Amino acid sequence: MRLEGKRALVTGSGRGIGRAIAIRLAREGAEIAINDLHIEGEARQTLAEVEAAGRRGILIRADLAHADEARRLVEEAVRQLGSLDILVNNAGIEKRSPFVEVSEQDYDTVLHVNLKGAFFTSQAFARHLIGTKRPGKIINISSVHEELPFPGYASYCASKGGLQLLTRDLAVELGPHGITVNGIAPGAIATEINRSLLDDKPRVERLLKQIPLGRMGKPEDVAALAAFLASSDADYVTGSTYYVDGGLAWHYQE
């Protein structure tokens, strides 16, 4: 177990990739603050699996589209767990729409949750670590679309592109405090975020042809990398984004 005695906050961990990360970090020995917009139902299942791994878990509701909620989330996690060592900025949403039809409201929702939420949660977490003079690890769950265009998802691309450079900037600003900052860029992972894709068989078949490893990813594929980046095995790793995409991003076909 690589995370014995550590405490981690995983945003958006009620389901999907966030849930798999929360469970994997717990299996590696960490206590987990589980956050989601709703903490009834699905988030309780994450909690049950964290507890089944023999670790303490707490549930905190927060809407990360608002900076004050992000700050309250970190304060509450610190109050209940005593301190934090690891932050996984995983909460994210996407909205499909042709660029020329994107509304201001949809743009704001996507940018606020995916980018502003990660920004101010990281700020509160960094203040906590600097204030208590302790090192720590920030892991930003981005997407292959921090690099690759995704037609029909311009606001999502803008948010993930922002997250890419936020990762690099924070690695430089927070490195002197012993805080590492890395990104994970998942490709096509089978979760609820792409339910419309999963329900569209011809689209899935076209997608699978573009994935050299020939399958969609599992949340656990992403969680395994998060466990490494959260551990002391990755103490000298900062400022980079790691792809978990079965080879999708670099597979160009004529």
Catalytic residues, by residue number, are 156
Binding residue for ligand BGC, selected from 113, 145, 174, 243, defined by CB under 6 A: 145
Identify the helix (H) or strand (E) that includes residue 220.
Answer: helix 219-230
Angle between helices 154-174 and 104-111 (to 10 degrees): 30
Q: Are 2 and 29 in contact (CB under 8 A)?
A: yes
**Binding of residue 143 to ligand BGC (CB under 6 A):** yes
Residue nearest to ligand BGC (CB): 143
By beta-carbon proximity to ligand BGC, the closer residue of 89 and 194 is 194
- Pick the closest to residue 15 from 30, 27, 37, 31 (CA basis): 37
Nearer to ligand BGC, 125 or 153 (CB): 153
Q: Least distance in Å: CB of 132 to ligand BGC?
A: 34
CB-nearer residue toward ligand BGC: 79 or 206: 206
* Angstrom distance (rounded) from CA 79 to CA 220: 29
Using the minimum distance from each CB to ligand BGC, give the nearer residue, 17 or 171.
17
Q: How far is CA 2 from CA 25, 28, 60, 148, 235, in A?
A: 9, 5, 25, 33, 12
Residue 84 contacts residue 74 (beta carbons within 8 Å): yes
Rounded-to-10 torsion of CA 244, 248, 250, 254: 180
Task: Tell me the closest approach of the beta carbon of residue 195 to ligand BGC, in angstroms.
Answer: 9
Toward ligand BGC, which CB reaches closer, 59 or 188? 188
**Which residues ranging from 28 to 87 are in contact with ligand BGC (CB under 6 A)?**
none
Burial class of 186 by CB neighbour count within 10 A (0 to 12, 13 to 18, 19+)? buried
- Between CA 44 and CA 15 the distance in angstroms is 10
Residue 144 binds ligand BGC, judged by CB under 6 A: yes
Residues in 92-121 at the binding interface with ligand BGC, rule: CB under 6 A: 94
Exactly one of 102, 197, 208, 213 binds ligand BGC (CB under 6 A); that residue is: 197
At its nearest, how many Å lie between ligand BGC and the CB of residue 57? Answer: 26
CB of 233 to ligand BGC, least distance (A): 26
| Euclidean distance between CA atoms 88 and 74, whole angstroms | 12
Choose between 46 and 194: whose C-beta lies nearer to ligand BGC. 194
CB 6 within 8 A of CB 82: no
The interface mask with ligand BGC, positions 167-196, x = CB under 6 A, is: --------------------xx----xx--
Q: How far is the CB of 17 from ligand BGC (least distance, A)?
A: 9
| 25 beta partners | none
- Binding residues with ligand BGC: total (CB under 6 A): 10
Please give the residue ranges that form the binding site for ligand BGC (CB under 6 A). Answer: 94, 143-145, 150, 187-188, 193-194, 197
